[in-house]
Structure 1
Amino acid sequence: MAVLNLCFCSKIAPLPNPPKSLSLRQISSSQSQPINPSFPLPSYRTPQDAQTQSHLSSLCESISKASVLTLLSASLVFASNPALAFKGGGPYGSEVTRGQDLSGKDFSGKTLIKQDFKTSILRQANFKGAKLLGASFFDADLTGADLSEADLRGADFSLANVTKANLSNANLEGALATGNTSFRGSIISGADFTDVPLREDQREYLCKVADGVNPMTGNETKETLLCK
């Protein structure tokens, strides 16, 4: 924006100064010469023109300063929050974890409340005992991940692949599992699925392998799944 404003202002050329008085000989000489249509006729600057040019110059200077300040402010914002400088960066935590390949990464025991893991690859990642309240795993790949004893209350597993994951003794109260979320092959012994909206086919599958009691809530896994 600043460059555009400067270019615009640089094109405002000063208006031509009025010519000096012409002598009678020059006037008569010019009248005898044929007028060349391709030759631009001179324009004359009046006091009003000079005033207009002064106003335009002041306006351009103000716009340029404002644009520079705007760009400087934007630079300071990105510098103060590095996560915003990366595509897909999340607003929580100290690392950019959205849309990243974090296979095998160790997050065990960490506090990652509302952390953004959308569309990330988290195969065999270790989240054992982590606090992940409200974290987003939307469309993430959690194949083989260790989520045992993790606090996953209110976490979003919509469209996530949670196959062959370890969810033993995890607390998933109020978590989201809509769409094509799959828990096939996962260990869910002692997991709490209270108020988790599961597809009927997923619920039936989990009920076949459910057992144990969650140590944090005292709820039986089968009861939280509303198994018949």
Structure 2
Amino acid sequence: MSYLCESISKASILAVLSASLVFASNPALAFKGGGPYGSEVTRGQDLTGKDFSGQTLIKQDFKTSILRQANFKGAKLLGASFFDADLTGADLSDADLRGADFSLANVTKANLSNANLEGALATGNTSFKGSIITGADFTDVPLRGDQREYLCKVADGMNPITGNETRETLLCK
């Protein structure tokens, strides 16, 4: 009886170790990333230059991904997570980013022209330095004081969808 229990215990341990080795060697098997972007993983990936323009990617998970120069022009990204992602030089113009999470994201030199960011999160060390924000709507977006001050210096235009002026949505003086 004890031999049988010992064999079962060894088999169980081997099964767990085998499974962990499979997941460790292929991170794509460890998680599916979330969101509707097919079965492709978009979380923690290098998606530099990828074209997502015009796509509907509601609640898509781009956490910790590298999205430099990615094209999201006109994409519907409601509730998408860009937590700790690198969006340097990304095109987010005309995108619907309501409720998106940009916490800790690098959004420098991005094009946010006419983007709707109503209710998006931009907490922590999120940076919009060098970004184009003409016509962007930042209604109810929590921003650090230094980021709000910087964005107010470059803010202009009116969002074509919401009709809100960028400076007003940033609460510029």
Q: TM-score, normalised by structure 2?
A: 0.82
**Structure 1 counterpart SS, 2:48:** coil
Per-residue CA deviation, residues 113-138 of structure 1 (Å, 9 max, x unaligned), is 00000000000000000000000000
Per-residue CA deviation, residues 173-205 of structure 1 (Å, 9 max, x unaligned), is 000000000000000000000000000000000
Q: Which residue of structure 1 lines up, in the alignment, with residue 161 of structure 2?
A: 216
Contact 1:138 1:159 (C-alpha < 8 Å) held by counterparts: yes
Instruction: Identify if the C-alpha distance between structure 1 residues 174 and 77 changes in structure 2 by more than 3 Å, giving closer, same or farther.
Output: farther
Instruction: Identify if the C-alpha distance between structure 1 residues 77 and 151 changes in structure 2 by more than 3 Å, giving closer, same or farther.
Output: farther
C-alpha distance in structure 1 between counterparts of 2:116 and 2:14, whole Å: 49
Stretches of structure 1 lacking an aligned partner (at least 5 in a row) = 1-55
Contact 1:120 1:140 (C-alpha < 8 Å) held by counterparts: yes
C-alpha distance in structure 1 between counterparts of 2:95 and 2:51, whole Å: 13
- Of 66, 71, 74, the residue aligned with 1:129 is 74
Q: Quick check: which one's helix share is greater?
A: 1
C-alpha distance in structure 2 between counterparts of 1:209 and 1:62, whole Å: 69
Instruction: Identify if the C-alpha distance between structure 1 residues 91 and 150 changes in structure 2 by more than 3 Å, giving closer, same or farther.
Output: closer
Deviation at 1:69, TM superposition (A): 17
Contact 1:84 1:90 (C-alpha < 8 Å) held by counterparts: no
**Structure 1 counterpart SS, 2:149:** helix
Contact 1:123 1:142 (C-alpha < 8 Å) held by counterparts: yes
Per-residue CA deviation, residues 197-225 of structure 1 (Å, 9 max, x unaligned), is 00000000000000000001000000000
C-alpha distance in structure 2 between counterparts of 1:81 and 1:119, whole Å: 17
Deviation at 1:95, TM superposition (A): 1.9
Tell me which of the two structures has the higher relative contact order, counting C-alpha pairs closer than 8 angstroms and 6 or more residues apart.
2
Structure exhibiting the larger radius of gyration computed from Cα positions: 1
- Aligned residues: percent identity? 92
Deviation at 1:70, TM superposition (A): 12
C-alpha distance in structure 1 between counterparts of 2:33 and 2:59, whole Å: 15
Deviation at 1:80, TM superposition (A): 20
C-alpha distance in structure 2 between counterparts of 1:81 and 1:91, whole Å: 21
Contact 2:102 2:123 (C-alpha < 8 Å) held by counterparts: yes
C-alpha distance in structure 2 between counterparts of 1:133 and 1:73, whole Å: 38
Contact 1:93 1:115 (C-alpha < 8 Å) held by counterparts: no
Stretches of structure 2 lacking an aligned partner (at least 5 in a row) = none
Contact 1:91 1:116 (C-alpha < 8 Å) held by counterparts: no
C-alpha distance in structure 2 between counterparts of 1:76 and 1:104, whole Å: 31
Which segments of structure 1 move beyond 3 Å, counting only runs of 4 or more? 56-94
Instruction: Identify if the C-alpha distance between structure 1 residues 171 and 93 changes in structure 2 by more than 3 Å, giving closer, same or farther.
Output: farther
C-alpha distance in structure 1 between counterparts of 2:26 and 2:75, whole Å: 24
C-alpha distance in structure 2 between counterparts of 1:85 and 1:91, whole Å: 17
**Structure 2 counterpart SS, 1:77:** helix
Contact 1:132 1:155 (C-alpha < 8 Å) held by counterparts: yes
